[in-house]
Amino acid sequence: MEMMTLFDVIILIFGIYMIGSGIKMMRTKEPSSVVIAKEELVKCKDPAGMAEFLCRKEMFFGAVFVMSGILGLISDLWADLGWLNIVQLVVFVISFIWFQGQLRKAREKFFRSF
C-alpha cells in the first residue's frame, strides 16, 4: 500500500469518526473529546450549549474529511483527478480554517476567562 493511500484511508476514517462524534454530541448534549479535552470541560460555563453550537459544524467538517479521503483514494487507485485534486485541497484548507474559527468562537462564548 502506498503511503498516500494509507493517509487517505486515515482521513476517511477520521471524517467518519467526526460525523459520529457530532451526532453523539447532538444526542447527549455533551461536547466531544475531539473538540475539547475532558480536563478542560470543567471550565466550560454551558457544556450543553457548546455541544449544540458545535455539533453540526463538526459533522460538516467531518463530511469534508470524508470527501477528501474518498477523492484521494479515487485519485490514488483509479484515476488522476487533475484539477479536482486542487479544488479538494482548497476546500479542505478553507474548511479547516473555518472550523478552527468556530472552535475559537465556542471558547470565547462558553468558557470562563481566568
Report how far residue 64's alpha carbon sits from residue 60's, in angstroms, rounded to the nearest whole number.
6
Question: By percentage, how much of the chain surpasses pLDDT 90?
Answer: 70
Dihedral sign, Cα of residue 68, residue 16, residue 63, residue 101: negative
Nearest one of 20, 25, 23 to 36, comparing CA atoms: 25
* Total domains present in the chain: 1
Residue 9's pLDDT band (cuts 50, 70, 90): very high
Contacts of residue 108, defined as CB under 8 A and 6 or more positions apart, other chains included, come to: none
The boundaries of the domain holding residue 75 are 3-31+39-110
Question: Using an 8 Å Cβ cutoff, are 59 and 66 in contact?
Answer: no
Segment 32-84, tens digit of pLDDT:
888 888 888 888 899 999 999 999 999 999 999 999 999 999 988 888 888 88
The reply to whether the predicted model has a pTM over 0.85 is yes
Cell of 2: 502506498
pLDDT of residue 23: 96
Alpha-carbon distances of 112 from 43, 51, 89, rounded to whole Å = 6, 16, 35
Alpha helices in 35-82 (DSSP H): 47-77
Arithmetic mean of pLDDT, 91-109: 95
